[in-house]
Amino acid sequence: MNLVLDLSTCGITQGQRNTFTEKLQDALAKLGSGKEDFTGWVDAAGIVTPGEMDDIEETAKAIREKCDLFIVVGIGGSYLGAQAVMDALFCGQGADGPKVVFAGCNMSGAYHRRILEMMDGCDCCLCVISKSGTTTEPLAAFSILKEKMEEKYGEQASSRIYAVTDREKGRLREEADEAGYRSFVVPDDIGGRYSVLSAVGLLPLAVAGVDIRSLTQGAVDLMTDEEACEAEADYALTRVALSMSGKWIEVFEYFHPELHFFGEWLKQLFGESEGKERKGIFPASLMFSRDLHSMGQFIQQGKPLLFETVIIIDERNEDVIIPESAGAPLAGKSIEQINDCAIKGVAAAHTKAGVPVIKLHVPKMDAYNMGQLIYFFEKSCAIAAYTMGVCPFDQPGVEAYKQEMRDEIAKIDG
Ligand code: PA5
């Protein structure tokens, strides 16, 4: 595999990991059996068929030709993966294709007003993504934005609206079929937070100009790599062992701001997969150097509840030299050289303070390696959840809030 997992400063021994061998075997058997619900993503090569891949690319090409603003409506697993990959690869910013914006993941009037205003000045396409087809936030945002599309394009609006949803069920499927939107399917056996390599992620990513074949290939290659399977298990079991030693918070850290949404995706993946039955590790994410000047203090000297998982991009695509005016010792060095010193210095300081640090190196940031990262974390997360004794693929707590919110909406007058 391209990724390198460094457990040398994690504080957990192979012997401690081995105490979970039986649970690990059970977890791997469940994930590999092809019989457990919602494990369709495990076979990364089979998530979309070759025909679907062609369809997604052709549709994305048509969208890129006919609009300069592509609005993606979705929440949770129906948007975070796409935004994470897009941002990490600096795609979808409008430089060589449509600008991609996301909606339906908050209920802010100001936020949606800004999107309506953006739609005034340009050619738009709209894509709504919801597996259930019933989630309140995306459905509300979609209705608002669809009305604007109809205002702009009249009867032609439906040829600019796309839907990714369940094959048969839900309000969105009914509407898509009735209105004739070009639609794609969220596979039955894949839940939201494991769906980025299905049409849920691939359609918006292809529109943003991401090489989705390479992204998928990264995951497929990891799936069949023995060294990767070992690393996924080691990472998963290290986390479980750390939690059992009282480290109940995992902080995902990165030194490149383009990984901000990857941190958000990780929080969703781990939080929703593990956090149930009063179990789980609380996932947090921090962006360094920024957060070294806030949360860095807590990590160094606060209550010792946490461990760190640092994602390190080894080869940087771009760099800038610090000018002479900076004086010694910075002048003439590059900003990424200084970043490297931060990476090493932070690890040294935190390790000396007794904080367990796990490092995951990515050789460079491209679609292929993003595919590897996605698959690595999905698989590790599912193994860890099973090892903790919870189902990685449901989210009863989320369903509870959805229902409470619907009840509140029903009480609004008029
Ligand atoms: O991971 C999950 O299943 C959830 O986070 C969902 O993605 C989220 O609740 C959105 O659901 P839906 O796609 O049905 O609108």
112 classed as catalytic: no
272 classed as catalytic: yes
Ligand 1: which of 129, 135, 378 to mutate, most ligand atoms within 8 Å of CB? 135
Atom 5 of ligand 1, nearest CA residue: 76
CA atoms within 13 A on the CB side of 225: 19
CA atoms within 13 A on the CB side of 227: 7
Percent of the chain residues topping a pLDDT of 90 = 93
Same fold, 4-34+216-388 and 44-210: yes
What is the pLDDT, as a whole number, of residue 279? Answer: 96
Ligand 1: which of 39, 73, 132, 188 to mutate, most ligand atoms within 8 Å of CB? 132
Q: Can you give the length of the chain in residues?
A: 414
Give yes or no for residue 35 having a pLDDT over 90: no
Give yes or no for residue 368 having a pLDDT over 70: yes
What is the pLDDT, as a whole number, of residue 358? Answer: 98
What is the pLDDT, as a whole number, of residue 161? Answer: 98
Atom 3 of ligand 1, nearest CA residue: 192
**Number of Cβ atoms within 10 Å of the Cβ of 222:** 26
The CATH classification number of 44-210 equals 3.40.50.10490
Give yes or no for residue 391 having a pLDDT over 90: yes
pLDDT digits (tens, 9 = 90+) for 178-213: 999 999 999 999 999 999 999 999 999 999 999 999
Distance from Cα 66 to the centre of ligand 1, integer Å: 29
First to last CA, the chain: 58
Task: Report whether CATH 3.40.50.10490 matches the domain 4-34+216-388.
Answer: yes
What is the pLDDT, as a whole number, of residue 121? Answer: 86
Report which residue type is found at 236.
A
- Report the pLDDT averaged over residues 113-136: 95
Query: Domain extents for the chain?
Result: 4-34+216-388, 44-210
Walk across the sheet containing 249-254 and list its strands.
4-9, 357-364, 306-315, 249-254, 282-287
Residues at CB less than 6 angstroms from ligand 1: 75-78, 130-132, 135, 138, 191-193, 272, 395, 398
Q: What predicted TM-score, i.e. pTM, was given to this entire model?
A: 0.96
Q: Which of 10-14, 20-24, 96-100, 401-405 has the lowest mean pLDDT?
A: 401-405
Give yes or no for residue 317 having a pLDDT over 70: yes
Atom 15 of ligand 1, nearest CA residue: 130
pLDDT digits (tens, 9 = 90+) for 40-99: 999 999 999 999 999 999 999 999 999 999 999 999 999 999 999 999 999 999 988 999
Give yes or no for residue 414 having a pLDDT over 80: no
Distance from Cα 337 to the centre of ligand 1, integer Å: 40
What is the pLDDT, as a whole number, of residue 396? Answer: 87
